[in-house]
Structure 1
Amino acid sequence: MHTWHWRSWQELPYLSCSLLEEFPHGFFTQQFWSHSLEDMTKILHAEASPYRLRQVHGNKVFTPREIEHILSVGGDEVEQIGEKTFAKADGLIGDRPLQAVWTASADCTPALIGDIKTGLVAAVHAGWRGTAQKIVPQAISRMQSQGCKLQDLRIAMGPSIAGEVYQVSEDVAVQLGSTLIPHEDEKAIINGLQEIDNSPLLPDSEPGKVRIDVRQVSALQLEQLGISPEQISLAPYCTYQNPENFFSHRRAKQGKVQWSGIVSMANGA
C-alpha cells in the first residue's frame, strides 16, 4: 500500500506520495495560495526551474523545449495572463535534469508521473474533459516516445473531487465511460461502467444524473494500457470535502487553485 505523507514548509502543509519518493515533488494546499511557483519550486529543489501552462481541459502534452518554440511562434496555442505568456495545454513533461513541471487544480485531478529508470517526469491536469480525451495516457505515450517503459512509471493522483460528491449528467458519464468501454450504445456504456470491479460510477437520486469518480476512470485507463495497479496511487483526500486544506471550484467557485509539481532527475533526452 502506497502511503501519503503530510509535510510542512514554514508550518504550511503539503502532501507527498511514497510512490514518488525518488523525485522531489509535492501536492500543495490552499495555504500556499500567496506563494509563487518559484517559491514552491525551491521547496522541492533549490536548483530546479519551474514550468507551467495555461490549462484548457484538453489533451495536449508538451516539453519545455516545445513550449519555447510555441511561445516564439505565437498564435492560437498561446495566451497572455497578466504580463506573462503561456502555452495552452494540460500536460508537461520534464525531460532534462531539474525541470520542475507544475499543474494547477481545484477539483480536477493533479497527476504526477515519474520514471524510476530515466528520471523523466510529467505533471498532468485531468478534469473530466481531459480524462474523456485520455490526457493521462497521452502523457504516458509521450514519455514512451522518449524512451520510458511502462513498468518503470510511477503515477500519483493528488487530491480531487471524490465520486460520491461529484454529480454529472449521464452524457458526461458516457463520454468518460467510452474511453473504457468501446461501444456505440450509451446505455451499454453506462451498464458496462456499473459492472466494472471497483466501479467509478455511483447512483444519484436525480433523474438523468449520476456520480462518477474521474480519478478512478484515469486509473482504469492506465490499467488498460498494461500498467499495474501497484504503480498507481490515489490520494485519500477530496477537495470538495476538505475546505480547510483545498480550494474546490464546485464548492466555492472562487477561481482559486492549488499547485502540484515534480522535479525531473533525467540525464537529458
Structure 2
Amino acid sequence: MHTWHWHDWQGLPYLTCSLLTDWHHGFFTQQFWPRSPEDLTKLMHPEASAYRLKQVHGNIVVTPEEIENNPGEEDSGLVSGDGLISQYPLQALWVASADCTPVLIGDMKTGQVAALHAGWRGTAKKIVPGAIARLQNQGSQLHDLRIAMGPAIAGEVYQVSLEVAAEVGATITPHKEEQQIIDALHQLPNSPLLADPEPGKVKLDVRRVNALQLENLGISAEQIAIAPYCTYQTPEYFFSYRREQQKKIQWSGILNKSPID
C-alpha cells in the first residue's frame, strides 16, 4: 500500500507520496498561499528552474523547451495548457488546483517527470493518457511509470449532471448513449459514480476515472496512488472552489532527476 507523509517547511505543512520517493516533490497546502512556484522550487533544489502554465481545463501538454520558445498569453505571459513534461534534470514542473486533481508522474528509468491538472473537463479529454503517450514518445516504458494523484474533491461530495458524468465516463466505457454510459459506470467494481437524491444528478469520483483510464492503458494499480484527502472536506489544509467560491489555489510540483546509469 502506498503511503502519504506530511512534512513541515518553516512551520508549513505539505504532503508527499511514497510512490514518488525517488523525486523531490510535494502537494502543497493552502498555508503556502500566495507563494510562487519559483519560491517552492527552492525547497526542492536551489539551482532548479520552475515551469508553470496558464491552466485552461484542457488536455494540452507541453515541455519546458516549448514554453521557452513561446511568448505566452498577453495578459499573463504564460503559455496555455494543463500538463508539463520534463526533458532535463533540474526542471521543476508545477500545476495549480483547488478541487481538480493534481497528477504527478515519475519515470523510474529515465528520471523524467510530468505534472498535470485534471479536472472533469481535462479528464473527459484524457489529459493523463495523452501525457503518458508523450512520455512514451520520449522513451518511457509503461511499467516504469509511478503516478500520484494529490488532494482533490472526493466523489461523495462532488455532485455533477448526468451529462457531465457521461462525458467523463465515455473515456472508460465503449458506450455512446448517455444512459448506457451511466449504467456501465454504476456496474464497475469500486464504481466512480455514486447515486444522488437529486433527479438528473450523480456524484462523480474524478480521480477514480483517471485511475481506470490508466489501468485501461495497461498500467497496474500498484503504480497508481490516490491521496486520502478531499479538498472540500479538509478546509484546514486545502482551498476548495466548491466550498468557498474563491479563486485561490494550492501548488503541486515535481523535480526531474538524472536517469539511472
TM-score interval, normalised by the smaller of the two chains: over 0.9
Q: Is the 8 A contact 1:110 1:158 kept in 2?
A: yes
Post-superposition Cα deviations, 1:58-109, rounded to whole Å, max 9, x if no partner, equal 00100000112222xx6xxx3422xxx0000000011111100000000000
1:150 equivalent in alignment to 2:142: yes
**Root-mean-square deviation (Å):** 1.1
Matched with 1:48 is 48
Matched with 2:20 is 20
1:128 equivalent in alignment to 2:120: yes
Where in structure 1 do 4 or more consecutive aligned residues deviate above 6 Å? Answer: none
Distance 1:238 1:79, change over 3 A: farther
Post-superposition Cα deviations, 1:210-229, rounded to whole Å, max 9, x if no partner, equal 00000100000000000000
1:80 equivalent in alignment to 2:87: no
Kindly provide the amino acid, as one letter, of the partner of residue 170 in structure 1.
L
Distance 1:79 1:209, change over 3 A: farther
Q: Is the 8 A contact 1:115 1:152 kept in 2?
A: yes
- C-alpha distance in 2 between matches for 1:64 and 1:14: 25
- C-alpha distance in 1 between matches for 2:2 and 2:82: 26
- C-alpha distance in 2 between matches for 1:122 and 1:214: 19
Kindly provide the amino acid, as one letter, of the partner of residue 10 in structure 2.
Q
Q: Is the 8 A contact 1:107 1:161 kept in 2?
A: yes
Within a 5 Å distance, the mapping from 1:26-65 to structure 2 comes to 26-65=26-65
Q: How many residues align?
A: 260
- C-alpha distance in 1 between matches for 2:184 and 2:70: 41
User: TM-score if structure 2 supplies the norm length?
Assistant: 0.98
- C-alpha distance in 2 between matches for 1:18 and 1:143: 21
Q: Is the 8 A contact 1:79 1:87 kept in 2?
A: no
Q: Is the 8 A contact 1:103 1:261 kept in 2?
A: yes
For residue 22 of structure 2, give the secondary structure of its aligned residue in structure 1. Answer: coil
Within a 5 Å distance, the mapping from 1:1-269 to structure 2 comes to 1-71=1-71, 78-81=73-76, 85-267=77-259
Kindly provide the amino acid, as one letter, of the partner of residue 174 in structure 1.
A
- C-alpha distance in 1 between matches for 2:36 and 2:204: 33
For residue 87 of structure 1, give the secondary structure of its aligned residue in structure 2. Answer: coil
Mark the runs of 5 or more structure 2 residues left unpaired by the alignment.
none
User: TM-score if structure 1 supplies the norm length?
Assistant: 0.95
For residue 19 of structure 1, give the secondary structure of its aligned residue in structure 2. Answer: helix
- C-alpha distance in 1 between matches for 2:55 and 2:34: 20
- C-alpha distance in 2 between matches for 1:259 and 1:266: 23
Q: Is the 8 A contact 1:54 1:79 kept in 2?
A: no
- C-alpha distance in 2 between matches for 1:178 and 1:245: 33
Mark the runs of 5 or more structure 1 residues left unpaired by the alignment.
none
